[in-house]
Structure 1
């Protein structure tokens, strides 16, 4: 057995939504420990997570939220239903688009544009101003729109694609930054098998999925009070149907802080008593590395002192 094979066996494998040039690949490129490792291109979120649970990959990068379109429902539902997974990091990728074509094509030659429907919707203002007479043909993905032009499977004259496509394929750049929202960002998470949480950094986020015990007035408020009464800010609260009957929902929650923080641990205990099902998805460093701020009355020392005070009462110690 050659040393090259031994080296390959020692390397880690990361699954990502491909092919090369996607926004997901750009997110994976931000992971220091993934550099120089094996990157496995997959076709969808379910395949990426199946790679992790089956042990074919050590981790998978998936998109979970977009600042324009909101939560990625397929990813949220998968994390709610596939056991044994943990989010170990999050990464932000600015969303910008380019208009590309076969070499030699000019902008005035374009009348039919291939694009994924979501990407197309985010470029309508630019298209209306610069190519008002164009027609649109849907593509399966942002990268597939451009590959179809190159391999001849698409009749389109040009394609809307991520800028990273230019690093992998010889294409004519007709226009760049054609997205209507210059501040658009997609949030990605790196998912691995269940493992003990990383140590707190002070700039952490905890992700959960919580089901309400029953549908009654104030049920959602009861859940939210588990966080509010402990000084925990929520950066994401999204509902997804459970699917067993109409009107039943689970809630995807991102909370500022770490499970090893006393206030967060106390909130999770409260949720566990309140909810029939709480799924802990992970505590991990925030992508923006912003330090989590909270009032002093919610510091770890306050929770520890309160617990010691109660322990003293139960042991019969005199109060001082």
Structure 2
């Protein structure tokens, strides 16, 4: 009698934990990650190392926040760790709650534990509701709550993501305490180097580009590679390379896919211009918004121009 087939091995996904973080909420949006093994890690470097080593299929990391801008640790890691590709992006609304051990009342709160970024995003609410409070910095949004729960923090309350209430016995003192109702964090799912998925028409291409040298107009020359091909940039951020003062790399998100003729032409232009171009991936936009562009930048226009040049070189009559 034949032996029953064994179940396929579960894939592992790394994310910045512990449970209840915004990163976990982003990973929950990935259909192929549901029902698989999720590994909580301590930092971005650990998450990406899991991917490079092959122990994790992919890692979810925060890359950009609508209030605070780019996440420098993630951008620098992607610039310096080879063999990685962004395979998807996900948006998570950023909201915060104030939690405490059972029995603590809002009027009892004098010390508030919070990650510095979260604290800054809730400062207006805190100033109105707890004008005499003091801040105790925490290592993460979840660590702030665990500290008061485990007794390792002197704080009376903690600022945390709403998901913390699904995992721990805490009292909710206040919700929606963030100062910006439209705050959103953009996360990317990062895997090992693979061929880009087919274009969908609603895509984004991420790159890291270094300038060849420091001269007047160098940045403009780089940007012209996109502007002259009708490509819009949704992100342009500079990060120091670190080898000397005044040397920067640029983190770029461009609307479109590497399979688009205009994007492929721009990438070749960048390759000729820059000493180092890191292609991070072409992938569907989180909002699934179709990329619009002028007809003069349509794929068939680039193809016709290339065919025209070939005709000139081959001496075709009438060209």
TM-score of the aligned structures, taking structure 1 as reference length:
0.97
Q: Displacement of 1:132 after TM fit?
A: 0.6
Q: Distance in 2 between matches of 1:273 and 1:135?
A: 54
| Structure 2 equivalent of residue 59 of structure 1 | 58
User: Helix, strand or coil: the match of 2:102?
Assistant: coil
Tell me whether 1:17 sits opposite 2:20 in the alignment: no
Q: Distance in 1 between matches of 2:102 and 2:172?
A: 8
Q: Displacement of 1:319 after TM fit?
A: 2.1
User: Helix, strand or coil: the match of 1:206?
Assistant: strand
| Structure 2 equivalent of residue 28 of structure 1 | 27
| Structure 2 equivalent of residue 281 of structure 1 | 280
Q: Displacement of 1:18 after TM fit?
A: 0.0
| Structure 1 equivalent of residue 261 of structure 2 | 262
| Structure 2 equivalent of residue 311 of structure 1 | 310
Q: CA offsets, 1:197-222, max 9 Å, x none?
A: 00000000000000000100000000
Tell me whether 1:151 sits opposite 2:150 in the alignment: yes
Pairing of 1:293-312 with structure 2 (within 5 A): 293-312=292-311
User: Helix, strand or coil: the match of 2:224?
Assistant: helix
| Structure 1 equivalent of residue 135 of structure 2 | 136
| Structure 2 equivalent of residue 253 of structure 1 | 252
User: Helix, strand or coil: the match of 2:40?
Assistant: strand
Q: CA offsets, 1:214-261, max 9 Å, x none?
A: 100000000000000000000000000001110000000000000000
User: Helix, strand or coil: the match of 1:10?
Assistant: coil
Q: Distance in 2 between matches of 1:37 and 1:304?
A: 43
| Structure 1 equivalent of residue 241 of structure 2 | 242
Q: Distance in 1 between matches of 2:241 and 2:106?
A: 47
Unaligned runs of 5+ in 2: none
Tell me whether 1:124 sits opposite 2:123 in the alignment: yes
| Structure 1 equivalent of residue 197 of structure 2 | 198
| Structure 2 equivalent of residue 104 of structure 1 | 103
| Structure 1 equivalent of residue 84 of structure 2 | 85
Q: Distance in 1 between matches of 2:124 and 2:106?
A: 16
How many residues in Structure 1 have an aligned counterpart in Structure 2? 316
Q: CA offsets, 1:4-30, max 9 Å, x none?
A: xx54x6111100000000000000000
Q: Displacement of 1:155 after TM fit?
A: 1.1
User: Helix, strand or coil: the match of 2:23?
Assistant: helix
Q: Displacement of 1:314 after TM fit?
A: 1.2
Stretches of 4+ aligned residues off by more than 4 angstroms: none
